[in-house]
Structure 1
Amino acid sequence: MIHITELIQKYDDLDVFKEFDKEVANNNDRGIALICGSIIDEILKELLKDFFIESSKIDKEIFGVNQTLGTFDAKYKIAYYLGLINDIEMKNIVLLQRIRNKFAHQIFGISFENEEIKNIAFNFKIPKNGYIPPVIPFQKGQASLPKIDLNPIKKDTTPREKFIFTFKYLYMSLHTRTMIGLSNQREELKDIMTADQSIILEMDVINKALKENNECTVRIGKLKADYEEMLYRVTQILETLKNVKTENEEETESVFLDQKTEIKKALNKMDEDEKRIDQYNGYFGTILKIQQYNHAVIKNSIE
């Protein structure tokens, strides 16, 4: 459950754009690239922390230097594979990181107008109508609502502007998700499972597999009956056509022979599927009997 004070604090964080715009006005290209990279790095950390269990050790043991998620790379990759960011966001973060690294490692002669930086920035992509401006204008007493630009990257947008627009898009997307994350935080696993409970869970899985296999067998049986009916009708038609030998009937006979061949192939495939399912059922049935015996032994041994 999101506490109201936490929610208010999260909304207050939107003031970061006021400070960011000041930094943009006062910093050169290198400063902007490094600042944006650091902010996305930090918000990825917060996004992950909102998902992980609550622990006072997490900063040191997970996000510290030389720890599992101590690098920018590790943060965005694990966020993607946990389903916390989407593919477009990850690709934009990778591009932003590449530009940040260029500025961090090249001391002289680098700006957003460098060809290499321009080529990277060209690939920034904000989904159509996906950009939320930091400020939405309020028009009091107007007959119609104002229109805002939800697609700020144009053909003539400079690489520097593309970088800033993409940063703001990422910040707003991830910031929104950190608010949602407050209600999705995982709890520390405290359940202690006994041996008999483990066996019961395994038997549930086996029973589910057996049920699904039996349902497949029933579906195959119904389908086979339909195909066999079709095969019977095609065979009857072919028998009738044997007494007629005009050119047109010969062409028709060829069509029905092809149908008969395809139906037989389908029936053979169903026979193979049935045999395979029978094998699975035999395997799962044997495993289930073993697990039932194991469960009985464990139950008998519980103190």
Structure 2
Amino acid sequence: MSKVSKLRDLTTKAASADHQEAFDEQTADDADDRSFCLLLSAMLENSLDQANDHWIGEQTEDVRKALYDQDGLLATFARKITFVTVIGIAGPVARENLRLLRHVRNAFAHAKLPITFDTPEVATVCADLVRINIFDPPEEPDQMPGLTPRKRFQVVTNETMMRLLSSTGFKVLFWDDDGVEKTIIGGALP
């Protein structure tokens, strides 16, 4: 296997709970916007993979590679979003959020100019992100219009990841500011 093939394989390996601590450190408040966006987006893409894998079911390594490799059905962020929409995991609100999150991620990944979440083009897209309910029993989420673009990106991404993981049957743990555990709703995203 070539060095490049090994590198490509690395990009399709599933992340585990053991990786979460490193992700958390790398997405801390002091992380620069580009790194923060790219890593949080990678975590979101991992959650999409887990939701898709759960729906698809256990597969051989060869089938998994065929799905996720360079030209596979689930090779790109956009294709993964389309797939979770087609199979009913993501409804119209989640689909639009995922589409916007993907475009913000792509801007940070490919912009030839320095950009931040306060760059007007980024900020206006982030303003269109919609918070979704994550709790069972349902609560109407406060859309928090005063959130900074970076914080709105973070909140919507985290809510989406929690719902995607919960849709797989994984018990996502959440405590409110008073230390009270709250149940994350399972099933399809709105």
AA aligned to 2:46 is E
Q: Which residue of 2 aligns with 1:54?
A: 58
Q: CA deviation at 1:83?
A: 0.6
Which one is further off, 22-31 or 76-85? 22-31
With structure 2 as the length reference, what TM-score do the two structures score?
Answer: 0.70
Distance 1:32 1:22, change over 3 A: closer
Q: Which residue of 1 aligns with 2:75?
A: 70
Q: CA deviation at 1:33?
A: 0.9
Residue deviations 1:113-162 (CA, integer Å, cap 9, x gap): 111001101100013xx145xxxxxxxxxxxxxxxx97354221110110
Distance, in Å, in 2 between the alignment partners of 1:70 and 1:106 is 22
Distance, in Å, in 2 between the alignment partners of 1:36 and 1:169 is 12
Distance, in Å, in 2 between the alignment partners of 1:161 and 1:150 is 19
With structure 1 as the length reference, what TM-score do the two structures score?
Answer: 0.46
Q: Which residue of 2 aligns with 1:34?
A: 38
Residue deviations 1:262-297 (CA, integer Å, cap 9, x gap): xxxxxxxxxxxxxxxxxxxxxxxxxxxxxxxxxxxx
Larger fraction in helix = 1
Please give the residue correspondences for 1:260-299 in structure 2 after superposition, counting only pairs within 5 Å.
none
The correspondence for 2:146, drawn from 132, 145, 156, is 156
Q: CA deviation at 1:69?
A: 1.2
Q: Which runs of 5 or more residues in structure 1 are unaligned? A: 1-11, 133-148, 181-303
AA aligned to 1:51 is W
Distance 1:111 1:72, change over 3 A: same
Q: Which residue of 2 aligns with 1:179?
A: 169
Which gives a bigger RCO, structure 1 or 2 (Cα 8 Å, sep 6+)?
A: 2
For the 8 Å contact 1:33–1:100, the answer to whether it is kept is yes
Distance, in Å, in 1 between the alignment partners of 2:21 and 2:155 is 12
Q: Which residue of 1 aligns with 2:20?
A: 16
Q: Which runs of 5 or more residues in structure 2 are unaligned? A: 1-15, 171-190
Tell me whether 1:101 sits opposite 2:91 in the alignment: no
For the 8 Å contact 2:26–2:36, the answer to whether it is kept is no
Q: CA deviation at 1:81?
A: 0.8
- The alignment-based identity, stated in percent, is 19
Runs of 4+ in 1 over 3 A off after TM superposition: 12-19, 149-153
User: CA-atom RMSD, angstroms?
Assistant: 2.5
The alignment covers a number of residue pairs equal to 151
